[in-house]
Amino acid sequence: MRRISSIAMLLLAGAAWLSAQEGGAMPEPAAGWKWANFVLLVVGLGYLIAKTLPPLFKSRTEEIQKGIAEARANEPGTPSSKPRNR
């Protein structure tokens, strides 16, 4: 692990050194590539959201419905409710 971090530090230092030299600036990517990257990001995030949120909402809905059912069962005036101490 230490060897990998040493190599990564050397690569980063070399990249910084090369970019600091005159004429070493990389050209700006074309607008088409920027849009392609944006579309990939949106599609990837949309996929992850569509995959993870529906089960979350379903479990939360079940919890809420269970709570409502328990609250209705414990309403005063129903035979199964516990008597309150006043």
* SS3 of residue 52 by DSSP: helix
For residue range 2-50, what is the model confidence (pLDDT) as tens digits? 677 777 766 666 666 656 555 555 677 788 899 999 999 999 999 999 9
For residue range 69-78, what is the model confidence (pLDDT) as tens digits? 999 999 887 6
Terminus-to-terminus CA distance in the chain, angstroms?
A: 66
Mean pLDDT of 53-74: 94
Q: Which residues, in sequence order, are CB contacts of 76 under 8 Å at separation 6+?
A: 84
The pLDDT value recorded for residue 77 is 73
